[in-house]
Amino acid sequence: MENVICTIATETAYKDLKLFLFTLGLYNNPPPPVFILSDNFIKKNIPSYKGVIYCDDVLQKYNGKNRKQMEATCGQFYKTQWEDFMMEKASVLSWAFSKGVKSAYFLDCDICFLGTLNHPHVSMKLGVSRHEIQPYKQTLFGTFNAGYMWTSDSEIPTKWRNAAKTSRYYDQAALEDLVKETPSEQIYFFPTQTNYGWWRMFQGIEPYTEIQKQWGIKRNNTIKNSGISINEAPLLSIHTHWGEKMDVQTIEFNNYVLQKLKLLYKYDVTGQLLKFLKSEFNLS
């Protein structure tokens, strides 16, 4: 198998996971196989999906805990349980490679797809997604986002775990070490239109009002996507919590995307997405 999807999820992320699988199947035909490390709740209530799902409920020890609680708990392999949990990303990749997979994505389950996956070329070993944020923010949180990466190198999960032991910011800044260790010609950088998070809009080098001018509408009935574009190219995925009620920038980002989607409600796949968002997240 090539280009399988790996993710991790516990009960608190159930709605995110439902949307993740729904949109993955909505825009990709055939839908790729998905490997999930989960808790018992997810294993017993796996959301519907058009493709094949492999699920192992080895994350029960994290069940019912939020980030604050895990950061206050000593970890088994790292300083805190939160760091242990973040590095389960490497665990699910290792599991996939142990099943003979040739290449795999790790994607956080709060990714919402708005178009097809853009697979790195077979000659690549590592695919990473830049934050595209202000330099001082990058120094704090890392150059790359740890919620969207790809690899064809079965040694990457172990290297990622090792790099995280000395990382300045968890699993995320550790990706910089992997990039340094990988030949430049074998690194794929996912484009701006992939894994677009609130940080890219509100922590970018330019003011967010200028960044929003890059957004537009570009329908193409021959290609399955939402119809939203950035710099004239289709927006392929966003990284957000649609159910967020507290974080102002996430809420503002969600509302901005939602307004764009509403302009395209007659566009078949976008209409299906809007219906799902309304039913699962009570978005009007």
Neighbouring residues of 69: CB distance < 8 A, sequence distance ≥ 6: none
Backbone angles phi, psi at 147, to 5 degrees: -95, 5
User: Between the CA atoms of 187, 191, 192 and 195, what dihedral angle is there, to the nearest 10 degrees?
Assistant: -80
Give domain 4-110+124-191's CATH superfamily. Spore Coat Polysaccharide Biosynthesis Protein SpsA; Chain A (3.90.550.10)
- Residue 221 is predicted with a pLDDT of 64
Amino acid residing at 203:
Q
Of 195, 179, 87, 190, give the one whose Cα is nearest residue 142: 179
Q: For residue 48, how many other CB atoms are within 10 A of its CB?
A: 9
CA–CA gap between residue 263 and residue 228 (Å, rounded)? 9
CB of 158 closer than 8 Å to CB of 93: no
- Residue 284 is predicted with a pLDDT of 74
Give the CA radius of gyration of the chain.
18
Give the CB-side neighbour count of residue 123, counting CA atoms within 13 A.
Answer: 4
Amino acid residing at 74:
C
Backbone angles phi, psi at 227, to 5 degrees: 100, -10
- Residue 222 is predicted with a pLDDT of 59
Q: Is 198 left (phi over 0), alpha (psi -120 to 50) or beta?
A: alpha
- Residue 268 is predicted with a pLDDT of 83
Amino acid residing at 219:
R
Q: Name the stretches of the chain with pLDDT < 50.
A: none
Amino acid residing at 245:
K
Delimit the domains of the chain by residue range.
Answer: 4-110+124-191, 197-281
Tell me the pTM: 0.96
Evaluate the CA torsion angle 101, 107, 108, 114 in order and state its sign: negative
pLDDT, one tens digit per residue, over 259-271 is 999 999 888 889 9
